[in-house]
Each structure stands twice: as structure tokens, then as C-alpha cells.
Structure 1
Amino acid sequence: MINRSKLGSALQAVLSQAKVDGRLTCGLPPTVAHLERASEDVLLCVLPLTRPGDAATHIQTVLLQAFCYENYIPVIQVDSSEKLGEYCGLGSRIECPCAIITKDEERKRDPLLSPTEQELTDFYECTLEEFPRPIVELPR
């Protein structure tokens, strides 16, 4: 059983560790470039909710989600692009439209995930059929 109330903290920890390890890519152009180059190395995609009325960002998000689904990349939606930007190291109040976490060199050979990464992957798989998709609230 997945404790949904702790998923935001779990995701924050995974993002922080990926940043330290150099496995975090933030922003649309770098994310798309990495996906074109090596989508099989992507462990997880994180997308914030789009604001109502922001059609361009919404279209980009839908296309990115579709690409991830087609390539079996788990997508976790979060409540805030500003919090995501903060966790990615972009600074406070700077929006981040998306982020991906890649596998480390060891994991490219050995597919085991950390317990926290596994928890997030399990959450994704358990909620695939939910509509609307669940949103993970990132802590401040």
C-alpha cells in the first residue's frame, strides 16, 4: 500500500539526490533533447500542472506525456512549477515546465531502483487508470 501523503517528500528526496548525482534535467528544450538522444536512460518524468489559459504549455505537456507513455517512462504530475523549479535549483519563484531523472551509470547495467524511486514508480503504475490523474503535492 502506497502512502500518498508522503509522496511529495519522497519525490523531493529523489529530485535532490538526482541533482547531486548529475542525473536531473530541467526545462523543456534540455528534456526534449535528452529524450531524443537517450529515452531508454530516463527513469522518471515530472510535470507540473499547467495553468488554465496557457494553451502553448498545455500542448507541450500533452505531447511530452504522450512521448513518455509510448516509451514506458513513468510520469508524475506535481502541483507547482515553482516548487519544481526550486527543487531543480533554478531559484525560488522560477517555473520549471518539466524535469526528467535519468538512470545512473550503475543502473544502466543493473535495473534495481532505490526504495524511494521504486515507491514513485509503483505509485505511477497503481494510478495509471485513475482519471483525473493524481497530483503529487510537493512540500515547501
Structure 2
Amino acid sequence: MCISNVTEDKCKMINRSKLGRAVRGVLTRAKVEQRLICGLLPAIAYLEKAPDDVVLCVLPQTRPGDAATHIQSTLLQAFCYENYIPVIQVNNSEKLAGYCGVSQKAGCNCAVITRCSPPTPDSPEVEIPLSPSEQILSDFYECTLEEFPQPVIELPI
């Protein structure tokens, strides 16, 4: 009983109007820290190799009539769900691509944020603690897990 009250309180405290900025900030920080993987094939390769090292998966809403992308997105969401990886849906693949540093014309059909920065010859792999924004997005995912349809976050300019 107490656990559900804590969860409900946490869910009520999430300001949904600021989630788009949180997504942008998380993607920007992860890109700088080299913890961002953009694109479906690189994301799948990483997820197969180290699903426990993934903090968050960001997927754009699929466009009507794009069955192939919809199927890929659905399978990726199912994989993430089975591996307890939060999935955040956003409204625009071009904006997502811009935040990831990918060509906006091509768009971005997936972005994965990892826990660790890649190892270099000078330093080993370093696990980075969740930022406050990453924690908010993870909490938002947990709070909306049973909502149907899943909420879509509108990305800022």
C-alpha cells in the first residue's frame, strides 16, 4: 500500500510540459559523453551485446503507412520491455536526428543512451550515474507504462 502511494506521488510530481527539454538535454549530454548510439542497426547491435548497460531508448513516432518502420519499432520496444529498458516515444524523427548530430533529412529512427562511456587507451570504461533528467524520464516511463496509447513527448525546436 505504501509503495503505490510513493509511486503515485512521484508520478504526480512529473511536469509533462518539460519532458521535451529533458529529452533534448539527455541526448545532448549523452552525445558529449559518447554514450549515445543513433540508428536502428547500431542500437540493435549494442542491445544484443550489452542490454544491461542501456539507460534509455528513444523512438520517434512512426508515420502512418510506414509498416516496415512500425514493425521494427514494435520489435525494438518489445525487446526493451523484456530487458527493463525504458522506452520514450517522441513526436519527430528529424528533431531527434538533430539532437543526435545525424542528418535531419534522413531522420533518426532510434537513439539509445548507455550507462558507460567507451574505453580509451588512456582510461577504462567508466559508468556514469543517472543524471536528474535521465531519472525523470525513467520515472515518466514507469508512471505511464500502463497508459494506452503510450504518451508521445513533443520535442522542442
Query: Structure 2 length normalisation: TM-score?
Result: 0.84
Number of matched pairs: 136
Counting only pairs closer than 5 Å after superposition, residues 36-51 of structure 1 correspond to structure 2 as 36-51=48-63
Query: 1:86, 1:93 within 8 Å by CA — same for their partners in 2?
Result: no
Structure 2, unmatched stretches of 5+, are 1-12, 117-125
For residue 82 of structure 2, the aligned residue among 37, 45, 70 is 70
RMSD: 0.9
Task: Give me the whole-angstrom Cα distance separating, in 2, the residues matched to 1:115 and 1:8.
Answer: 14
Q: Find the counterpart in structure 2 of residue 19 from structure 1.
A: 31
Q: Find the counterpart in structure 1 of residue 106 from structure 2.
A: 94
Counterpart AA for 1:19: K
Query: 1:86, 1:94 within 8 Å by CA — same for their partners in 2?
Result: no
Name the SS of the counterpart of 1:100 in structure 2: strand
Query: 1:83, 1:92 within 8 Å by CA — same for their partners in 2?
Result: yes
Q: Find the counterpart in structure 2 of residue 113 from structure 1.
A: 130
| CA-CA distance at 1:86 after TM superposition | 0.6
For residue 95 of structure 2, the aligned residue among 64, 83, 91 is 83
For residue 149 of structure 2, the aligned residue among 110, 129, 132 is 132
Task: Give me the whole-angstrom Cα distance separating, in 2, the residues matched to 1:68 and 1:93.
Answer: 27
For residue 6 of structure 1, the aligned residue among 18, 26, 32 is 18
Structure 1 or 2, whichever has the larger Rg, is: 2
Structure 1, unmatched stretches of 5+, are none
